[in-house]
């Protein structure tokens, strides 16, 4: 079981890296004022959804045995918590001092982000749950058993 946990963690890290690369690629290809420029609907909303996708992948780095629905719920809840924290002004202050804080905490509250977070997580939960269901069905079928 320990080997399986590390595989899941590595897959989570790879997925998070892929989501980050996709978000940065969208920003570069859409000709913004740099990679951190989130002006424009495509850059802003895709970045928000892909951020939530990264958080979903990150749940499996921390908890490789998490079920898809639980991981999705935790990911969206974390994203909403971070977004609501932006109402305090603390993330904006920290973002002024640290690029890492800017990338993780954002700068200012945007109510639309509360909708885009589930958009980034729900498809992953559905696909992941479908794969889990398919794999458990395959494992239980007579043709997949070794004799």
Convert the pLDDT of each residue in 106-136 to its tens digit: 889 999 999 999 999 999 999 999 999 998 8
* Confidence at residue 43, expressed as pLDDT on a 0 to 100 scale: 81
Residue 1 in this model has a pLDDT that exceeds 60: no
Residue 126: the pLDDT is: 97
At 82 the pLDDT is 96
pLDDT class of 144 with cuts at 50, 70, 90? very low
Query: pLDDT tens, 30-82?
Result: 876 665 556 678 888 999 999 999 999 999 999 999 999 999 999 999 999 99
* Total number of residues shown for the chain: 147
Is the pTM higher than 0.75? The answer reads: yes
Among the residue ranges 23-27, 62-66, 86-90, 98-102, the one predicted with the least confidence is: 23-27
SS3 68: helix
């Amino acid at each position: 079981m320990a080997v399986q946990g590390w595989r899941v963690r590595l897959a989570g890290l790879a997925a998070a890296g892929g989501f980050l690369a996709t978000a940065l690629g969208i920003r570069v290809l859409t000709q913004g004022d740099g990679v951190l420029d989130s002006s424009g609907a495509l850059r802003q909303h895709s970045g928000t959804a892909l951020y939530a996708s990264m958080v979903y992948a990150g749940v499996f780095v921390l908890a490789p045995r998490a079920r898809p629905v639980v991981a999705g719920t935790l990911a969206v809840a974390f994203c909403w918590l971070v977004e609501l924290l932006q109402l305090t002004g603390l993330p904006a202050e920290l973002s002024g001092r640290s690029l890492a804080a800017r990338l993780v905490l954002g700068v200012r509250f945007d109510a639309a982000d509360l909708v885009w977070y589930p958009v980034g997580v729900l498809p992953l939960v559905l696909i992941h749950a479908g794969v889990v269901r398919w794999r458990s069905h395959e494992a239980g079928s007579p043709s997949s058993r070794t004799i």
